[in-house]
Structure 1
Amino acid sequence: MTTFEAIPISQIDKGAAYITAGDGKAYPLDADELRRAFDAIVRDDSHGMITTGEAAQILGVSAKTVARILDAGEIPFVRYGAKGNRMVSRSEVIAYRDRSESHSRKALEDMRAAASEGGLNGIDYAAYLAHFS
């Protein structure tokens, strides 16, 4: 079990993840702790079905992007209500997010390897960009 130590929010690095109790103290989170906290929050749903707006928040994209993902068949959905609003399974959204993040990490690793194999790591970008000034 992890012991959390509170520190003043002013000591948190910009862009770092943390939880606060509203008293000016922050509890810094590493990537694993952040993922576990996020998963605990998004799992707190008794029905398991969420709106496309909630899915957009989980995925960090717009509702229109979620609609495109659903229309492409990437995440199954059901329509309900008189307006035919779409609902998706929270677990399906999280699984899609995890697949997407895994795919992105793999693509970045492949690009880094290709750059290294192609000798692109030693390029003097300042000199290259100076040609365009």
Structure 2
Amino acid sequence: MQKVIVYLDDPAYARQLLPAADGAGTHWVLVACAPRMTHRISKWVSHSARENWRSRWADKLFDQIVPGLRARGDDVTPVLARGPLPDLTRDLMAEHGTSRVLDVRRPKQETPPGPGLLPPGAFMGLAALVFALD
């Protein structure tokens, strides 16, 4: 049975990128990567409340992904990431004996500039163009 570690944070996006069943059966180690909270949140929310929120968030994510994988006959081990991903990856690879890791987390999008503003770096590009034309 093939074992695959998968990092995910959005079930709809992950479903699009997960490989189709190949008939051999796969053991998926699903690692939920909860959204980051700002460092200022600790003023209002206790550590245990943050951990409870992360656990509930992961449960909702797994509820949307796990049944589909199990329905096609695959094994699933859900894991909630609680620390740096490189350390977790090493631990999971040693525990499950796999070298295949998929990152199907939704890419972070840059916030667009406000109306009438140039994107970062555009001013320097325009300045270089003006100096080049002189």
Tell whether the structures are fold-level matches, with TM greater than 0.5: no
Q: Which has the higher helix share?
A: 1
Q: Which category describes the TM-score, using the shorter chain as reference length?
A: under 0.3
